[in-house]
Amino acid sequence: MKLDIVQAGNPVLRQRARSLSLDEIRSREIQKLIESMRTCMHEAPGVGLAAPQLGLALQLAVIEDREEYHKDVPEALLRERERRPVPFHAIINPALEEIGEEKAEFFEGCLSLSGFTALVPRARAVRVTCLDERGQHRVIEASGWHARILQHEVDHLNGALYIDRMNTRSFTTMENLAEFWKGRAVSEIKAELELKSK
């Protein structure tokens, strides 16, 4: 099944997706869709992909942060982001709650906003109650980068994009991020962006 990722402006990205029944989850069609989404996510490459990004208004997303994606990321950045490999899993009909008050702000991108990124504040830790790819009840407690991915994907299922939450002054192309901000601390970037706004 060849899947195309839809871009911002497509109405499906702005509607709340519908829940899936257990029979639907276990059907050959949805099982095939999950495998195709996994392949599409790897080919992009990305660490998460929601069904609405493929034009399908379904409460389904897949997540995997592979170890190979970390090899070119400086160790200090991995530590700062609390980024560790996350094995493949699907989240279906998720309910998300924040754990604690602590927030983290990092640059975030999206396969449906190709070529752009921005600083996005998110809860540092979350709990997601959902069904997995086999229709089994699952509770995921995550912190750091995994928590960010979960929040990003659940937003997709509720018709939201990271641009709805971003620090608007930080919105940039990936090329400009690399040219002007690469290797700089988030606090330093924020301070400079605020300074230039006065």
Specify the higher pLDDT residue, 140 or 190. 140
Question: How many helices (H) and strands (E) in the chain?
Answer: 6, 8
Residue 1: its pLDDT value, please?
62
Q: Which domains does the chain have, with CATH numbers?
A: 11-196 (3.90.45.10)
Question: Of the candidates 134, 133, 152, which has an alpha carbon nearest to the alpha carbon of residue 142?
Answer: 152
- Report how far Cα 33 is from the mean position of its chain's Cα atoms: 19
- Is residue 11 pLDDT above 60, yes or no? yes
At 55, which amino acid appears? G
Residue 182: its pLDDT value, please?
86
Residue 84 DSSP SS3 = coil
Q: How confident is the model at residue 194 (pLDDT cuts 50, 70, 90)?
A: confident
Mean pLDDT of 123-132: 98
* pLDDT, tens digit, 9 for 90 and up, residues 12-46: 999 999 999 999 999 999 999 999 999 999 999 99
- Report how far Cα 170 is from the mean position of its chain's Cα atoms: 18
What percentage of the chain carries pLDDT values higher than 90? 85
Q: How buried is residue 154: exposed, middle or buried, by Cβ count under 10 Å (0-12/13-18/19+)?
A: buried
Question: Of the candidates 189, 198, 52, 8, which has an alpha carbon nearest to the alpha carbon of residue 107?
Answer: 189
At 114, which amino acid appears? S
DSSP 5: -
Mean pLDDT of 71-87: 90
Q: Report the catalytic residues.
A: 153
